[in-house]
């Protein structure tokens, strides 16, 4: 049975997936610059734990105070 992204509902593949540090849901996260996946979340800096974490777009919308800690990974979607 294929798993689906808890943010957009699309099918998840085995490589380009992450789990939200806040809610634990799985979402699309490209692990390669060549991945043809639109990220449904972000990488963020967790200063309390001195680590990076992952946050889904749903949790980011409910916790806007996290937006200052988002790390821009510069992923560009391939042009069609």
Q: What is the pLDDT of residues 6-35, one digit of tens each?
A: 999 999 998 999 999 999 999 999 998 888
| C-alpha–C-alpha distance, residues 30 and 41, integer Å | 10
Q: Answer whether residue 77 is part of any domain.
A: no
pTM of this prediction?
0.79
Tokens of 36: 């043809």
Q: Answer whether residue 80 is part of any domain.
A: no
Q: Answer whether residue 76 is part of any domain.
A: no
Q: Answer whether residue 49 is part of any domain.
A: yes
Higher pLDDT, 8 or 1: 8
| C-alpha–C-alpha distance, residues 64 and 58, integer Å | 10
Q: Which domain holds residue 57?
A: 17-71
Q: Answer whether residue 42 is part of any domain.
A: yes
Q: Output the pLDDT for position 74.
A: 62
Q: Answer whether residue 24 is part of any domain.
A: yes
* 55 dihedral zone (left: phi>0; alpha: psi -120 to 50; beta): beta
| C-alpha–C-alpha distance, residues 58 and 8, integer Å | 10
Number of domains, the chain: 1
Reported as a pLDDT band with limits 50, 70 and 90, residue 70 is confident
């Amino acid at each position: 049975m294929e798993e689906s992204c808890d943010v957009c509902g699309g099918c998840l593949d085995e490589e380009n997936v992450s789990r939200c540090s806040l809610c634990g849901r799985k979402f699309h996260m490209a692990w390669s610059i060549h991945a043809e996946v639109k990220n449904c979340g972000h990488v963020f800096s967790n200063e309390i734990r001195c680590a990076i974490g992952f946050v889904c777009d749903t949790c980011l919308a409910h916790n806007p105070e996290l937006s200052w800690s988002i790390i821009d990974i510069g992923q560009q979607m391939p042009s069609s």
